Structure 1
Amino acid sequence: MVRSPSLPLRAAAASLTGLALLASGCSSDGGGNPSDRTSATVGRSAAPSEDPSRTPGASPAPAKGSAKVVETVATGLKSPWGLAPLPDGDLLVSSRDEGTILRVDADSGETTELGTVPGVDPGGEGGLLGIAVPPDFAENRYVYAYFTSASDNRIVRMLYEEDKEEGNQLGAPSTVFRGIPKGTIHNGGRIAFGPDRMLYAGTGDSGDESLAQDRDSLGGKILRMTPDGEPPGHGNPEADSVVYSWGHRNVQGLAWDAGKRLWAAEFGQNTWDELNLIRPGGNYGWPEVEGEAGEKGFVDPVAQWKPADASPSGIAVANGSVWMAGLRGERLWRIPLRGGEAVADPQAFLEGEYGRLRTVVSDGGDGLWLVTSETDSRGTPGEDDDRILRLEVR
């Protein structure tokens, strides 16, 4: 069933204490002053005894890790945005501006176009954005996509059909959820299935910052819904709403750790980009606060960056750390975790080596898939851009 916006929420979130830090910087995916640079900082998300979701006895990730590019899987991609591994190891990748989904052979790097998603209206930061396959993909063969249409941002699903004569192709899209505000900027777009088999989506404020605190808007939120686009009926702050958390500027990354905790990365404006530990009913502050504020009623980030060093996009969890792709920062950040807190300052890899980094996805083991983003109109593409890289990480 297609879901339109329901009236979200009335609950306030528990707040987290944080360090008060001086700030300056810039905004968003591409603009600002790159000379405003500083080291990433770690906050105090919660002491272990204060975090009921902490995995008992979990060993913290080491303070220092490593990341090594071991293979260039594919080259020549145009405005790649979302990446979804298939059960057989191949990859699906979406093109933001062309509205197409490709299948990439993970062994040979050969790409096959599966089809163009009808209704995609690219422009600015909008277009065909995140894609995901459900945990029961082998049974239902659905591929989910988040895209910007002429009137809104929405989520659809398509049947992935395998025809011996016609080849692999996508069926007509069926709308799962609609009515997410759209804009030239801040369309959110990341979707992922959680360990609870629910579908999560990160949205943006679409350039209207007031939407993030508006409980009657889907803008600036993290949404949690059934695979059919319905409120789950349990686990959300309001049983009849898909809204899971609010006060977000532009959520770009979603990932779960081994303790089934949800992490999210989002763009800041002029001061701090953020990595947040997401709790149902949490208010993450935008536009009232940005970064760590220590103010009652708002959840402080676990880690934060000057926008020149990050402008975060996709995130993944591997080997006990969150790995975060940076667009303007042109680097991959590692944030080592213990339960619901970071245990050391973030560590940067690949700085400036591959340009803007859009999406990072775990391969289920000690590796990551990493997608570059030089052809999105804000980069300086080289001959092989854009690319999918395979990394070994520790």
Structure 2
Amino acid sequence: MKTTNFRIVLAMAFLFFSCGEKREVPEPETANPPTTLVSPAQVRGFMVSDAKDFDRNALNAAAEWGANIIRIPIHPDKFAQINQRGIWDALPAYLDILAERIQWAREKNMKVIIDLHGVPVENPGDISQPTFWNNPEVKPGFIRIWKEIATKFKGSSYDDIIWGYDLYNEPVEKVPNTAHIPFKWREMVPEIISAIREMDSDVWIIYEPGPWGEVLGYKDLTPLEDERVIYSIHYYKPQDSFTHQGVYFPSDVTTREQAQQYIGKTYPGVHENTTWNKEKMEESMAPVVAFQKKHNVPILVGEFSVVRWAPVESSKQWLTDVIDIFEKNNWSWCYHAFREWHGWDLEYKEGTGEFWFRGDPYPERSQTETERAKIIRKAFQKNKAQ
């Protein structure tokens, strides 16, 4: 997950022509979406930690909860830096680690999403800036890494375990005062898919159009030519004032006392001058529903969550409402996140009294099942019926 206060201005995302230099918008390619829905099995599970950090105990626990899929983020760039090697030199060892984790999932009859979080470029700079997307190394890097991954995991031995390749997590390009879909990303994706298809004609591709994981990217989106594509969003609305309350602060917040004024926000409630409830959630997701129905394509919610120190009853209601909407639309989903950062972890104590400010002692796990955990476990029961 990449998060920033720039999300509060995403409503202006397509007004960027008035901000900074003029940018050319590529003509959408002509697509031939399937006339009937072709879709992988609906899944419900967890986002987990990086492949090198995720351990067997966490995998076994996720399976015990009832999850039938894990979304594994991969950071081959960070792995290379830690090992003081170049990305391509370090990649084989990193993919061996990933292969081991996939085998663990197989043993528990779970599916896997391979999710590219890191970028396959040496010294990329700010990955949200035009300088990154205009870097001539970016497209070849994405093409090469996915060809390497597809080569590593091609063949029938992985067909039953890899649910999809998530091409890149939350792509975005920021220009002054706004953030928008990175058009260079949209242009290069067909070539990335072609490189994968040279190795694997059947694996499902997961595409996040951006900006970030927002639903905004589905307004007037032209689907990709490839028919085995799952379209993905991440859902955290309303973000800054509810799901992420007490996670990020203005630069002048330096003490715990100052930070506490940003917690205790409730749902349903008024956020950013708008009343947020289940009806508003459905309205916010309407562009994705319309896209799904128009083009007969499967949808994945790759991430969603509410921070654990939000008011408990509000967290329960938000999770209940958002999962109800996902299920109503037959969307697959992964809760963010399982045994990654404690702020999202369902196994840590919850409620406003558990607010954690930077520098606080590391929190303790809850000795009893949290209310948020109960909701996710209950939702996973639908996996048993499949």
TM-score w.r.t. length of structure 1: 0.34
**Per residue, is there more helix in 1 or in 2?**
2
**Per residue, is there more strand in 1 or in 2?**
1
TM-score w.r.t. length of structure 2: 0.35
